[in-house]
Amino acid sequence: MKSVKVVRVGHRYVRDYRTLTHLCLVSRALGAEAIYLEEVEKELKDTVADVNRTWGGDFAVIEERWKKVFQDAKAEGRAIVHLTMYGTPLQEKIAELRKRDSFLLVVGGPKVPGEVYKLSDYNIAVTSQPHSEIAALAITVHDLQKGEELKKVFGDYKLRIVPSAKGKQVEQKS
Ligand SMILES: C[S@@+](CC[C@H](N)C(=O)[O-])C[C@H]1O[C@@H](n2cnc3c(N)ncnc32)[C@H](O)[C@@H]1O
């Protein structure tokens, strides 16, 4: 699998908590290693830590300024891919993107500074319509990983779902 980290540019705004939580959980479930946020509230950190403890893995939520995250990503040789409805359609760039092994996927909140467009290696649109950072992230990861992310196994879990066509089956680690 390709290595994916996520950064969300922009400060927290009112009633943002649910979106941020969903962004973290979707990043984790789809195999990202970490998400960087400008501000991390304790409640969010606790929620993700709780999910890791129960369902496994070591997905990290890290408080960091986006510019520093960009600098570190450049130093690590990651492709910096900013998801924005104004960018080049994903389907036109996916073949080129798949040649790279590691990524920093950048999503915005309500307002993204112009510098983000300049400092990113790619500005990529998942349709040229406004929608959501969570949907844009999920589709991009799925396309980059060619579906391999769906098979990720999370180590060190307490609970594991045994996939079932009907009903719920959960295994508890003894
Ligand atoms: C509430 S939207 C803001 C929409 C914003 N005007 C934009 O540049 O896409 C928040 C974030 O969702 C993501 N997003 C929304 N629509 C998108 C699209 N069609 N393609 C890629 N990303 C999108 C972007 O990362 C954006 O910063």
Among 66, 84, 134, which is best to mutate for testing ligand 1, by the most ligand atoms less than 8 A from CB? Answer: 84
Is residue 130 within 8 Å of residue 85, measured between CB atoms? yes
State the pLDDT confidence band at 156, using cuts at 50, 70 and 90: very high
Does position 14 have pLDDT exceeding 70, yes or no? Answer: no
| Angstrom distance (rounded) from CA 61 to CA 154 | 17
CA 123 / ligand 1 centre spacing (Å)? 11
> What pLDDT score does 12 carry?
64
The pTM score is 0.96
Mean pLDDT of 86-95: 98
CB 66 within 8 A of CB 36: yes
Which structural domains are found in the chain, ordered by start?
3-172 (3.40.1280.10)
The predicted structure's pLDDT at residue 10: 86
Are 74 and 63 within 8 A, CB to CB? no
At 94, which amino acid appears? I
Q: Tell me the pLDDT band of 174, cut-offs 50, 70 and 90.
A: confident
pLDDT at 68 over 70: yes
Amino acid at 153: V
The residue to which tokens 């300049």 are assigned? 118
Q: Which amino acid is at 65?
A: R
User: Is the CB of residue 133 below 6 angstroms from any atom belonging to ligand 1?
Assistant: yes
**If DSSP states are collapsed to H, E and C, what string results for the chain?**
CCEEEEEEECCCCCCCHHHHHHHHHHHHHCCCCEEEECCCCHHHHHHHHHHHHHHCCCCEEEECCHHHHHHHHHHHCCEEEEEEEEEEEHHHHHHHHCCCCEEEEEEECCCCCHHHHHHCCEEEECCCCCCCHHHHHHHHHHHHCCCHHHHCCCCCCCEEECCCCCCCCEEECC
Distance 172 CA to ligand 1 centre (A): 39
Distance in Å, CA 168 to ligand 1 centroid: 35
Write the residue with the smallest CA distance to atom 8 of ligand 1. 84
